[in-house]
Amino acid sequence: MTRIVRYRGETFETTQDSVTEEVALEIRVNGEPFAITMRTPGDDFALVTGLLFAEEIIAGRDDVRAMGYGTEESDPDRQNFVQAVLNETANGFVRQKRNLPLSASCGVCGKASLAELCLNFVPIPPDTLTFSPTLLYGLPAKLRVAQEVFQRTGGLHAAGLFDADGTLLSLKEDVGRHNAVDKVIGEKVMEGATPLSNRLLLVSGRVSYEIVQKAVRARIPILCAVSAPSSLAVEIAASVGMTLIGFLRGDTMNVYTGAERIC
């Protein structure tokens, strides 16, 4: 809680308010520094797993031997340090290394070259999930109701995973858009539930290239957002056969790619 002065017109009062927590998380892989990301504490192992999965460092949970917080029990920052130990089957760490700290909003910071942005995008089969417009219109409300921390702070992004019936299967919140997506996908990787070829992903903000990349990596066929996509997000979604929907609000939406899945 933070002490604030709240104004209502010309009157004011001193009170307490909840603010979104933003704390640095240091990530090490096999003893080597990998990244420092700003995140909202919670679901840290899912966040790290999702990030490693999105970067093609691991292919699934079997590539992770162990994951834990800092080893010094007396260290007050112990839970802001995650160490991942990978099996020999995970051979991606040598070719994919971050060179810079990550912000909560950056999905590509630290890439060594533009070529590294082009992961192996495999087309998504066209005969996967379909949704009716009416069902889609109801998803943002389900996401908002489940955002418990957002209700208190108003300062978090959310990512939600839905099944074909529109049931919310997983909801993660974070100060960073990319972190929220990594947490949702990372949780499913840890459960051995990937690929997510029969799932829909809804994000509370805009859709950038990085969000599409993470969804493609998890084989998610439909990606929705309450805000706008970027031009590169549209281009990549079209190239892999993903359905990309923006401005999903009330009873309106813009279908940028893959309209055949809306029926």
Residue 43 backbone class (left: φ over 0; alpha: ψ -120 to 50; beta: rest): left
**Tokens encoding 77:** 């920052």
**Rg, the chain, Cα only:** 19
Beta 157-162 vs 200-203: how paired, if at all? Answer: antiparallel
CA distance 164 to 220: 12
Q: Which of 106, 109, 118, 224 is catalytic?
A: 106
| Residue at token pair 């903000």 | 205
According to the 3-state scheme, what is the secondary structure of 63-114?
A: HEEEEEECCCCCCCCHHHEEEEEECCCCCCCCCCCCCCCECCCCCCCCCCCH
CA distance 263 to 251: 15
109 flagged as catalytic: no
**Which amino acid type is present at position 128?**
T
Residues annotated as catalytic (active site), given as ranges: 106
